[in-house]
């Protein structure tokens, strides 16, 4: 990135050469040379920038594709584990355990369905792919039945909501709710309250510095479409209120 910008600046500064010639000896030839040089610099900059952005777009698409593949592989691995456990219970002749296993699978399917029905692609992808990254934080998601956001929020508002949730989760992730090296749990909930959406974050245990975490959350939502409210004294619970029909 820096090297490409340096090339662009060097090419643009090269205009100083024909400009100096025009200043030193103004003539039709030097003016024509200056015009051709400027046109060539502009064409080079335009073509170069377009190719650069195309490469950046290709890199972003490749990164997104790799993340999608990781997510699919992770879910496939989870389903295979569940099916192997269910098959084992069936072979051992344990119908009660088999039924419990099937109920767990049904609950996971229902949760995935409710997450998908939120309708914000960036948010759904973030939640579904979170488990595929090696993290010290385990995210447990709860979504109220029938809750949909895509019809109530614009595309820009949906992306802003996703950004706020990602930053808030990151704040919890590095907030020290559990000893270093141990897996921490964070519950992320989506519920509807009259004309608003409530997004809750519930971390395990007490927070070592609740004032610091609350300050971080307030900074995250400052100037955004939602507001932070209902902090508990231990600092592990924070709720965001999002008005609908944005």
pLDDT tens, residue by residue, 15-41: 666 666 556 766 676 667 656 766 776
Predicted local distance difference test score (pLDDT) of residue 217: 85
Distances (CA, A) of 220 to 2, 72, 122, 168, 200: 29, 31, 18, 7, 15
Predicted local distance difference test score (pLDDT) of residue 129: 84
Residue 80 has pLDDT above 60, yes or no: yes
Helix (H, G, I), strand (E, B) or coil at 215: helix
CA–CA separation, 169 and 203 (whole Å): 10
Highest mean pLDDT pick, 31-40, 182-191, 230-239 = 182-191
Element (H, E) at 238: strand 237-243
Q: How many CA atoms lie within 13 A of 170 on its CB side?
A: 9
Mean pLDDT to the nearest integer, 46-72: 69
Residue 11 has pLDDT above 60, yes or no: no
DSSP symbols for 117-181: TT--HHHHHHHHHHTTS--SEEEEEEE-TT---TTTS-HHHHHHHHHHHHHHHHHHHTS-SS-TT
Instruction: Spell out the residues 6+ positions from residue 172 whose beta carbon is closer than 8 angstroms to its own.
Output: 137, 184, 186, 201, 203, 213
Mean pLDDT to the nearest integer, 62-66: 65
Predicted local distance difference test score (pLDDT) of residue 19: 60
CA–CA separation, 45 and 7 (whole Å): 9
| pTM of the predicted model as reported, rounded to 2 decimal places | 0.68
User: Which of the pair, 227 or 29, is modelled with greater confidence?
Assistant: 227
């Amino acid at each position: 990135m820096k090297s490409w910008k340096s090339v662009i600046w060097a090419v643009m500064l090269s205009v100083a050469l024909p400009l100096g010639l025009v200043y030193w000896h103004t003539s039709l030839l030097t003016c024509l040379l200056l015009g051709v040089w400027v046109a060539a610099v502009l064409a080079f900059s335009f073509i170069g920038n377009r190719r650069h952005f195309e490469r950046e777009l290709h890199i972003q698409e490749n990164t997104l594709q790799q993340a999608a593949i990781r997510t699919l592989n992770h879910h496939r691995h989870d389903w295979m584990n569940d099916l192997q456990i269910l098959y084992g219970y069936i072979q051992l002749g344990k119908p009660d355990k088999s039924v419990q296993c099937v109920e767990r699978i049904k609950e996971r399917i229902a949760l995935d369905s409710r997450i998908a029905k939120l309708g914000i692609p960036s948010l759904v992808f973030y939640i579904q792919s979170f488990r595929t990254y090696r993290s010290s934080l385990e995210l447990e998601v709860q979504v109220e039945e029938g809750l949909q956001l895509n019809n109530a929020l614009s595309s820009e508002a949906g992306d802003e909501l996703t950004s706020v949730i990602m930053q808030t989760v990151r704040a919890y992730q590095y907030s020290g709710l559990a000893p270093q090296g141990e897996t921490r749990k964070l519950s992320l909930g989506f519920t509807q309250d009259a004309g608003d959406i409530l997004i809750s974050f519930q971390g395990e245990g007490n927070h070592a510095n609740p004032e610091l975490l609350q300050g971080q959350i307030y900074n995250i939502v400052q100037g955004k479409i939602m507001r932070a409210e209902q902090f508990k004294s231990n600092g592990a619970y924070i709720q965001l209120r999002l008005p609908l029909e944005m």
